[in-house]
Each structure stands twice: as C-alpha cells, then as structure tokens.
Chains A and B, each alone.
Chain A
Amino acid sequence: MTFRAQHLLGIEPLHPTEITTVLDLADQYANDPGSPKHRNVLAGMTQINMFFENSTRTQASFELAGKRLGADVMNMAMQASSVKKGETLIDTALTLNAMHPDILVVRHPHSGAVDLLAQKVNAAVLNAGDGKHEHPTQALLDALTIRRAKGRLHRLSIAICGDVSHSRVARSNIMLLGKMENRIRLIAPPTLMPSGVAEFGCEVFHDMEEGLKDVDVVMMLRLQKERMDGGFIPSEREYFHRYGLDAAKLRHAKDDAIVMHPGPMNRGVEIDGTIADDINRSVIQTQVEMGVAVRMAAMDLLARNLRTRRWQAMEGEGVMV
C-alpha cells in the first residue's frame, strides 16, 4: 500500500499506485459504509469544509464521509462570511489554521486557489474543486464506479462528452484515466473544447455518433450554464440535438457501455431523462454512493500521513513518545 501525499490537491501529482491504493480502500468502505467500526478512524480529528462556491452534493458527501469516520465536522459557508468583508484567502487560511483543524476540505471558484491555501496551513487539504482546474475526489469516485462495473480500470475506451472546456471534472478524469492507461475520447462542440487538448493524448471528436463508437464508458458532463459568459453554443435545444445523450446516440457505444454523470443533471440538455433512469445503463446513483466511500478513503489515508508527520516532528524535537 502506497500513499505518500500530504494533501489531495489534484490527480496530476498522484502516482498510479497511489490511485489504486485509494480505490482499494474505498472499495472496502463501499462494501460496509455505515459500520460503527469505522467510527474511530478520524476520532478526535476536526474536519472543516470550506466552500467558497455553492455546493450541496459534494459538501454533503464530504460531511457524511467525515462523520462516518468519527471526525468532528464543521461546515463554513465562505460566501456569506468574512470573504465578503474583503479578507484575502491567505488571511482566511491563517485564521483557520489557528483553530488547528486536521482536515480541510476546500472548494474555490479560482483555479489554483486551493494549492495556495494548502501552502499556508498545517492541516491535510482536500481539493473539492478549484475553478476549472481539478476535482480529484470526483475523478476517483468515477474510477471506482467504472472499476466496479467493468471489473478493471485499464484498456477501456472512455468517452467524455460535453462542456470539457469549463469542466474540472473532465480535467481530473483525463489525468486519472490516462495514468491508468485507458483510451480517452473527448466529444464536444469546438467552442467547448479546451485549447491544446490534442497534446493531452486524447482523441478529439466534434460528432457524438463518431466519438461514441464502441466505447465502454460514456461520461456526460454538466453544461455549466453559470459559467457561460455568453455565446458558446447557439441554444440549449440545438446542443441537445447534437450533443445530448439519447438512445439513438448511445446505440453507437458498446452494448454493455455504462452511462455516467457527475450531477446535477440538466435533463433534456445534456442527457435524455430515460437514459439517466435506465438501471441497465446508468450508474449515476452508484457514483453518488462511491463518492462517500472514496472521500472516506482519501481522508483516512491523508490522516494516516498527517499522524506520521506529527509523530516524526515530535521525535525530532526529542519528545518522549
């Protein structure tokens, strides 16, 4: 078992064996999520969820994961707090640091903001999404969902479809699935495809039917309406017609292809409701379930490393332990 990271800021710095370690542990938690025997894993530790950007689902998932492991969990709605009074991110970080939390879960609207905060605190920091950069726990839960459904996480053909350009979920997934040696196909209108993406080692398609041909996994992305500063696509209905996942388009994928979506879904924009509800194809509910397990595993591993670091620091100071 290998997991050396101090923080979970993104998928990019992780080694494939570290990813496998998280997934293996998450698998165990997923089989027995509510068991009271997990209650002492984070006992005595304080977890603070700082969300500078609205989130219900991710925050609830992290909160539940922490509580199941016995942590004291506190939620701070940063949008309503001192940030509005002009406090800088670093001052916020220093203030929090003085409260000695053990685990910080942070979401921020700007790329790189969680990295910046992590440099200033002693706690283990988990990135719950920073701007258009990364959302590592989402990629890990997607990976676990795929592994459980397909029996493996390598040599699969995986299509990521939709608003790739504004999506941190897509970036983290491209990193993770690439590290695990899968074939990644990106499908989006050219206006929603990030620049230089061909250099990521992905295949790029602007046509759903062509892109979905014989894939094992179809990963849909939310069309992030709140991020659109205007004019990326002509209209929602044209988008649904050309890029929305419906039965006709899904027919081009393999017969046993699974359908994923990070939520919340816009039914009738990027995905047809009947596909989302098709229990034979859709694993969307499983993704939510795996989300809690993956977050339990990530916090468990980071807490182990945190304890080791503190232990070593005490030994370094010559304290009898």
Chain B
Amino acid sequence: MTKTLFMNARLIDPVALTDAPGAVLVEDGIISQVFDIATPDITGPEVVECKGKCLAPGIVDIGVKVSEPGERHKESFRSAGRAAAAGGVTTIVTRPDTLPAIDTPETLEFVESRANIDAPVRVLPMAALTKGREGREMTEIGFLQDAGAVAFTDCDRVVTNTKVFSRALTYARSLDALVIAHIQDPGLSEGAAVTSGKFASLRGLPGVSAMAERMGLDRDISLIEMTGARYHADQITTARALPALERAKRNGLQVTAGVGIHHLTLNELDVADYRTFFKVKPPLRSEEDRLAVVQAVADGLIDIICSMHTPQDEESKRLPYEEAASGAVGLETLLPAALRLYHAGQIDLPRLFRALALNPSKLLNLPSGRLSAAAPADLILFDPDAPFVLDRETLQSKSKNTPFDGARMQGKVLGTWVAGEQVGGTA
C-alpha cells in the first residue's frame, strides 16, 4: 500500500471554495485524508514538500482534439498526453471530429486502445451525435455509450435540421446521454472569419454578428425544453447569449455551458494584421463581450472553461486569413492563461478550479475534480506567480499553433499526478 503526503501546500478547494494552507494524504491513488494544517504529524508516507505552492484538483478538459485517427502528424495521443501532463490537465475528453469521425463503437475502441497505450493522463472519448457529423442520421448512441463515450457532439458543425436534432436529443434523453452542441446560427455564420464590426470592416474580412450565437442558443434551448435532454453548449462567447442561458437555467432545464480559454483572454483586435494563429471558431469577440463572459464564469453562470485544444500544422495556418484553418492548441497554456483572470482580480482560484476541474467532472459524473477524501488523486501543484515568456517551440504538442507565442505569462505547473502517480513536472 503506497502512501504519499502532500504537505505544506496551499489547498485550492473548488467545492468548499476555500484557499488555505493544508496537506493531502494519498493512498493507492485515492485521496484518503485532507488536513487543514500544513504539516500534519504522521509517519510512514512518502512526502511531497509543496513549499506553500498551490495544490488543486487536476484540470478536466472537455473538447480536446487529438488528431488520431487521420492527422497524426498534427497531434497524437502520446504528444497530446504529454502536453496535458505538462499543462496540469489530468483528464482529456476528446472530440470526435477526426478523420474519420468517431461515430461507431469500432472507431471508438480504436481511440480507447491508442489512448491507453500512449497517453500518461486519463482520456475519455466523446462520440459524434450524427453519422459522419453530417447532421442526417443519429449514431448508435447506446452502443457508443456502452463502449465508453462520455458525451455526444458534432463539434463545430451545427445539426441544422431541427427534426434530426430533436430526435437525437429525445433518444439521448432516454439513455441520459449528454449532448454537447456548437451554438452558431449556421446561415449567419457561414463563411465568417471574424466577428462583424469595425475591425472586420477595416480588415475587409467576412464577419458574423455576435447575434448568431444567441440565435443558436435560443433554438437549442427551445429543443431542450421540448425534449428534456441533458445539454451542454460548448462555448458561449458573447454577452448577448448570457441572459438566454440564465433563463434556461432558472427554468430548471438541464443546460450547462462552457467557454474556451482564448475567448476569455483575447479579443478580436488581437488578430491585428491577419495573424491566423488567432483564428478560432467562433471568432474572437469584442472586449465588452470578453469581459461579460469572464464575469459569467466568476458568477458560475458559465460552468466550464476548456482549452478547445485544436492542433493545426503550419501549412494550414500560413495562408490568407479567410483560407486559413481555425483553432489553437491550448493544453499547455490553459492554466497560465486562465491565471491572467486571477491576476487581474476577476476571479479567485477556487472559483477558477470550479470551472476547470469540478464542474466538468460533475457534468460527466466523474469522481475527480475535488480535493476531498475518496476522490481520485488527480492533482496538480503549481506556482501561480512564476513568470515566463512563452516560446511555442517548447510546447509538447506536435502542432505549435498557439496565439500566446512570445506572450508574458504567469503561472507554472510544478507537478501533475494522475491516480497518485506523477506524470508531469519536477516537484
């Protein structure tokens, strides 16, 4: 029986919403005891001296794109797993928008076996909601669930046919399956590269109104009211969509929402002179929208922060802006970027980890994301203040398409543990 004591730590507890000195005892990969004194007097266990740094539950990142199968040169389970371990992400929940899409139990099994061999962190796969993510026929939701799919999503494709979508939701409800959707009105957002407004007009780029997001959410909420399915909006990025989300929650619908880290920390002006590493989907928003969304995370209206990790190679980014691929890698920059909100005084650390670890775990009915007895010992130790300048070449991801290249950041992961085993960091 292995015992490890993490002592002299600053415990970030997203359940009790506390940030206080303490210690954590881990036995056989499970947290067995949490102490509110920094140096409990117990003998026997191996000791990790935390030196007053932050110990928090590991990040659970919903919506990570690992480009296996299909585009392994962009990201493999090995590289994504290493990136996750380096970034303090202890569970990655993978997207099915691969080539081919993960839409059968057989392809799902391939993903699971590859992940088991190569990734040092926990990997939970999601599956497509419709076959080929084409929005026509639903996938074998039951079989896929049995095979381990934790949620169903067509990723950035909207199921435009409301009849198809409502049937899939109804069917998913009977299995208590979680459906994750991208909320963009497909007509308005077609061909858009940026958010419409002064910046889009100055650069002569096709824009989409921020209203397209609320329209997508409004439609989906109506369908949830109709079907009663368990639903999560992958990214809410605009102020205008927030009242609709709040109403839906108040009315008792099983609706939750997430936001990508890039929309919390960057705005449309960062695109500047057509910098395609800042091209994400949905496009970056105005500063007013960014601030509204940050506030919504602090208030708990938006439940989850995710990295929306999307590896793209140089070839697909070194193109004119409209033609360039969307997406940015985020596993390794998720925590330091999120700490920008903490350093700006917009959110405290327990609430940050509520969005990074606890809420995603709850959404997927996982025991992780908590700093309490009986929870798995998926832990990260980090120094929230350590400054550094990001060099994209140092990233573990095979693809280096980060918008934070050269950015000054604060916050370093000192150690990552999955089930009590250290998988990242040198602490």
Instruction: Scan A39-50; emit 1 where CB is below 8 A from any B CB, else 0.
Output: 000000000000
A130 vs B201: C-alpha distance in the bound complex, in angstroms?
13
A194 touches B274 (CB 8 A): no
Nearest chain B CB to A68 CB, angstrom units: 31
Instruction: Scan A62-101; emit 1 where CB is below 8 A from any B CB, else 0.
Output: 0000000000000000000000000011100000000000
The stretch among B34-42, B192-200, B331-339, B402-410 that forms the contact with chain A is B192-200
A110 touches B201 (CB 8 A): no
A115 vs B321: C-alpha distance in the bound complex, in angstroms?
11
- Please, could you name 10 A-B residue pairs with CB atoms under 8 Å apart, sorted by A? A89-B320, A112-B203, A116-B274, A130-B204, A132-B205, A133-B203, A133-B204, A195-B209, A196-B201, A199-B198
B204 touches A171 (CB 8 A): yes
A194 vs B197: C-alpha distance in the bound complex, in angstroms?
8
Verify if A311 is at the interface (C-beta below 8 Å from B): no
A195 touches B320 (CB 8 A): no
A132 vs B319: C-alpha distance in the bound complex, in angstroms?
16
Verify if A168 is at the interface (C-beta below 8 Å from B): yes
Chain B residue numbers with a CB within 8 Å of A111 are 203-205, 274, 320-322
Verify if B273 is at the interface (C-beta below 8 Å from A): yes
Q: Which of A95-124 contact B (CB under 8 A)?
A: 108, 110-113, 115-116
B204 touches A89 (CB 8 A): no
* Main DSSP-derived SS at the B contact region: loop
A165 vs B201: C-alpha distance in the bound complex, in angstroms?
8
Chain B residue numbers with a CB within 8 Å of A112 are 203-205, 273-274, 320-322
A196 touches B200 (CB 8 A): yes
A196 touches B197 (CB 8 A): yes
Chain B residue numbers with a CB within 8 Å of A115 are 273-274
Nearest chain B CB to A201 CB, angstrom units: 11
A243 vs B196: C-alpha distance in the bound complex, in angstroms?
25
Known contacts A115-B273, A200-B198: does B318 contact A168 (CB below 8 Å)? no
The 7 closest A-B pairs by CB, nearest first: A196-B198, A132-B204, A112-B274, A133-B204, A110-B320, A194-B201, A113-B320
Partner of A116, one of B199, B200, B202, B320: B320
B200 touches A168 (CB 8 A): no
Q: Tally chain B residues at the interface, Cβ within 8 Å.
A: 21
B320 touches A108 (CB 8 A): yes
Verify if B288 is at the interface (C-beta below 8 Å from A): no
A131 vs B203: C-alpha distance in the bound complex, in angstroms?
9
Verify if B207 is at the interface (C-beta below 8 Å from A): yes
A131 touches B322 (CB 8 A): yes
A88 vs B274: C-alpha distance in the bound complex, in angstroms?
17
Verify if A142 is at the interface (C-beta below 8 Å from B): no
Instruction: Scan B287-316; emit 1 where CB is below 8 A from any A CB, else 0.
Output: 000000000000000000000000000010
> Smallest CB-CB separation from A113: which chain B residue?
B320
Partner of A197, one of B201, B322, B323: B201
A196 touches B322 (CB 8 A): no
A108 vs B320: C-alpha distance in the bound complex, in angstroms?
10
Verify if A300 is at the interface (C-beta below 8 Å from B): no
A88 touches B198 (CB 8 A): no
Chain B residue numbers with a CB within 8 Å of A194 are 200-201
A110 touches B323 (CB 8 A): yes
Nearest chain A CB to B201 CB, angstrom units: 4
Verify if A216 is at the interface (C-beta below 8 Å from B): no
Chain B residue numbers with a CB within 8 Å of A134 are 204
Nearest chain A CB to B317 CB, angstrom units: 11
A27 vs B197: C-alpha distance in the bound complex, in angstroms?
37
A165 vs B318: C-alpha distance in the bound complex, in angstroms?
26
Known contacts A88-B315, A89-B319: does B196 contact A195 (CB below 8 Å)? yes
Chain B residue numbers with a CB within 8 Å of A199 are 198
Nearest chain B CB to A134 CB, angstrom units: 7
Instruction: Scan A224-259; emit 1 where CB is below 8 A from any B CB, else 0.
Output: 000000000000000000000000000000000000
Chain A residue numbers with a CB within 8 Å of B209 are 195
Instruction: Scan B267-287; emit 1 where CB is below 8 A from any A CB, else 0.
Output: 000000110000000000000
Instruction: Scan A179-199; emit 1 where CB is below 8 A from any B CB, else 0.
Output: 000000000000000111101
Q: Which of B133-165 contact A (CB under 8 A)?
A: none
Chain A residue numbers with a CB within 8 Å of B199 are 196
B196 touches A131 (CB 8 A): no
> Smallest CB-CB separation from B191: which chain A residue?
A229
A113 vs B374: C-alpha distance in the bound complex, in angstroms?
56
A284 vs B274: C-alpha distance in the bound complex, in angstroms?
34
B315 touches A131 (CB 8 A): no
> Smallest CB-CB separation from A110: which chain B residue?
B320
A171 vs B322: C-alpha distance in the bound complex, in angstroms?
18
Nearest chain B CB to A47 CB, angstrom units: 23
